[in-house]
Chain A
Amino acid sequence: MFIRLLRESFIRNPRRKLLTCIALVLGMAVATSTFTVAVDVSDQLAREFRSFGANLMVAPRGDTLPVEIGGVDYRPITEGAYLSVSELSRLKTIFWRHNILGFTPFLDVPVSVAVSSGKAAGASFPVVLIGTWYRHSLALEDGTNFSTGAFSTNPWWRIRGQWFAENSSQCVVGSALAEKYGIVVGDELNVSAQSFGTGKPLTVGGIVSTGESQDEAILCPLSVAQELSGKAGQFRNLFVSALTKPEDAFSRRDPNSMTPTEFDRWYCTPYISSISRQIQEVFPDTQVQPIRRIADTEGRVLTHISLLLWIVTIAALIAAALAVAATSATTAMERRSDVGLMKALGATNLLVGGLFISEQLLLAAIGGCAGFALGAGLARELGETVFGVPTSPRLIVLPIILATAALIVVIGSWIPLYRAAHVSPAPILRGE
């Protein structure tokens, strides 16, 4: 009987249900999309922040004082300590290896350059030659290749011409230097390290503008700098770009003062402090340091933005809930005459109430599912438009949405139905 009544109410009067259904679908769609985006957005924003460049630096322990202005080290090669390139693949073995988005080694060598061809032929000057990776394919221990280099840690470097290929005899000249001496793409340079005599010819493949002191230097493949300085397989320091979670009060505590459970929790969260620790563990003879200028700002801005977006999401959720409750209440009020009739025929309040609640719950189930599908699509579009990466829907949201929909429709239709059930049937049937 119950099922028949339920089925009849859907078949007989679809139009009334339609309004509630539409409201449910749209309301739940908005709720799903804002929720999905809010959950994803902190990850996306953290990734966006990586375009500010490296946030960690690894330098040899017991190094002498770097003589560094604006990112270029002027020390002679005989001074200071070095790190080994062969150990770099260890970076992709730490617990948070998937958060290491890129790393670039640097070897700065003071050299003398003589321009051997082109308009500026004959010019000779001392300069710093910066050996690095632009786009290097590193073989990892699990057999895969990891592409890393300056394109990842210094994405704001702009090139006119082409970057050097790995292990080639090409170089890239800083824009200020090129302008000073009139060097253009295609020129030949003869480069010799100040303490070694042998010169090496390099072809200028491009002119780079970095906005920093590298504009007054020359960049070349790491292997060339190693060859010229006699430091085979070595480099001076490493810049790492890691995806991190903003620091909070918990992460700022001294890890040595944490209980084992707390330590595990800290270690298994990608704070910049825990990632530094993990890198230190695989490179024991180094000092690993967050680049505070980037890391601090990143943490603060991400925290603020996430909070803001969550508040906005909650506001959207409340608006959605209100819309659904309103339509639910509205349609429930229309059923008063049905309630009156059923009561006149002898139905108990329980039966009547049960019937209508079941109706609403069924609507909530249908509307909720449809709303989830629509909302997931909306979230994808939003993610695509804002971040260029479609946000993937999370199935965990579906039961939450269905439960919310059910709760809202029940609450929304509760009061009108309650009132209808407690008024005597006669006035209702009369039409009042």
Chain B
Amino acid sequence: MFKRLLWHLLNGNRIRLTVALLALTSGGAVVSALMNLEADINHRLAQEFRSLGANLVVSAPPAAGASAVSSGLIDASVMQVVEPLDSFGGTASPYLYVVARAGSAPGREVVVAGTWLDRVMQISPWWKISGDSSLSRADLTHCLVGRNVSRNLNAISGSTLTLYYRRQTANLIVAGVIDAGGPEDNQIFANLPVVQALAGEAGKVQLVQLSVAGSPDDIRAVQAELQSALPNLSVKPVPQITEAEGMLLHRIRFLIFSTGLLILVLTALCILATMAALAMERRRDVGLMKALGGSVQKVLRIFLAEVGIMAFAGGILGYALGMLLSVWMGERVFGTRIAPRWEVLPATLILMLLVAFAGAMPLRLLGNVRPAVILRGE
């Protein structure tokens, strides 16, 4: 009996209910698309911000006696501690700086940086290297020069460059020229062992730069983990990047969240309108049912079941559409594949049910219908 009545109700007002279903589907689609994207948005944006370079630096704590130009050196074994923490989904690279002389004797003063040449493009993705950029970490004969260095010292790709520091010399072949649009244009980059030999500081580095992807909380977690693993060194975030990044991400999330909320409110409104009209139309039916002995509870239960079925159907359809929408948005906006998440389905269903029941409030007024008055035709 219940089912028959329900079926009858659903069939009777097809147009109105289609509109309500449409509203629930569209609301559900947008909300589930946003929910699916939300987790990915943060990840994507954090990835985008990695193109700003390193956001954590491990260095020696300030120590008296070290000169101002080359602050305290740390042991290169620190890389063995830092590297396994690669689970942080980032990149780490050591650096050793030396102010050497380059070019034909007596040469000009140039900053020479020793690092891992296979990692430079990951730490500094804004570089453009013309020439050979795929150098291995063990290459002891090649170097990369910044474009200002190349211009000033006539050091083009393929030419040899001589570096002098105190009594050491190093002869390196220029493998490529870096166009960085920044201070690296004025520097020379070689693999760490070469610069360590030049500076006479075997087994030492000056600092380790880390590029960690993730939210500000993730970065703090990695910082804490590293600091506890390296209690004698200083592990600090790069404030230029971390502060602004955190603020920006927070604002964007909030904006998207409020828009999603507004859309939900609108969907509820739509349901409200439809249900209010339905309530008006069904007064006579309700009056009849009550006159025949049906209790208010039974009557309301049928209507709630109707709303519930629509919400369920709308939720499922909305989820399907929403997943398509989020995949399309991922492709279009970020150029990446975003996988649909199954957890979004129950969340969407619950939200749609809440919205539908909120909009169905007017149906409660049907409980107050007095059969005699209605059947008389008033």
List residues of chain A with CB under 8 Å of any chain B CB. Answer: 19, 22-23, 26-27, 30, 33-34, 37, 41, 45, 48-49, 51-53, 57, 64-71, 74-75, 125-128, 154, 156, 158, 176-177, 179-181, 209-212, 216-217, 289-297, 300-301, 304-305, 307-309, 311-313, 315-316, 318-320, 322-323, 325-327, 329-331, 333-334, 382, 385-387, 416
Contact = CB atoms under 8 A, between A and B. Distances in A.
Contacts of B276: 19, 330
Given A181-B64, A217-B68, A300-B48, A156 B108 contact: no
Contact of A65 (B49, B109, B266, B277): B109
A181, A312, A320, A323 — which one has the most chain B CB atoms within 10 A of its CB? Answer: A323
Contacts of B182: 57, 291-293
Contacts of A290: 181
Contacts of B334: 304
22 contacts: A22-B269, A23-B269, A26-B266, A64-B152, A70-B183, A177-B68, A211-B57, A216-B71, A293-B180, A296-B126, A307-B332, A308-B41, A309-B256, A311-B329, A312-B34, A316-B30, A320-B266, A322-B270, A323-B267, A325-B19, A326-B22, A386-B255
Nearest to A156: B239
A19 B111 contact: no
Interface SS of chain A: helix, strand, loop or mixed?
helix
A48 B183 contact: no
B68 A289 contact: no
B270 A291 contact: no
Contact of B273 (A23, A181, A293, A311): A23
Contacts of A325: 19
Interface in B256-307: 256, 258-260, 262-263, 265-267, 269-270, 273-274, 276-277, 280
Contacts, number: 228
B26 A319 contact: yes
Interface stretch (B130-138, B219-227, B242-250): B242-250
Interface string B52-74: 11000100011110111101000
A156 B246 CA distance: 13
B280 A334 contact: yes
Contacts of A74: 69, 99
A333 B67 CA distance: 86
Interface of B: 15-16, 19-20, 22-23, 26-27, 30, 33-34, 41, 44-45, 48-49, 51-53, 57, 61-64, 66-69, 71, 97, 99, 108-111, 124, 126, 148-149, 152-153, 180-183, 186-187, 236-241, 243-244, 247-248, 251-252, 254-256, 258-260, 262-263, 265-267, 269-270, 273-274, 276-277, 280, 329, 332-334
B18 to A, nearest CB: 10
B68 A216 contact: yes
A48 B247 contact: yes
A355 to B, nearest CB: 21
Contacts of A387: 251
B255 A66 contact: no
Nearest to A215: B62
Contact of A68 (B111, B259, B329): B111
Contact of B241 (A33, A52, A210, A333): A52
Contact of B269 (A26, A293, A308): A26
A64 B26 CA distance: 63
B360 to A, nearest CB: 14
Nearest to A293: B126
A297 B124 CA distance: 12
Contacts of B244: 48-49, 51-52, 156
Nearest to B325: A315
A292 B126 contact: yes
A382 B52 contact: no
A65 B110 contact: yes
A126 B68 contact: yes
A295 B68 contact: no
Given A27-B269, A48-B248, A316-B266, 15 more contacts: A19-B277, A52-B244, A57-B182, A66-B183, A126-B68, A176-B62, A177-B62, A177-B68, A180-B63, A304-B48, A304-B334, A308-B256, A327-B270, A327-B273, A386-B255
A295 B111 CA distance: 24
A231 B193 CA distance: 40
Contacts of A312: 30, 34, 256, 259-260
A313 B240 CA distance: 31
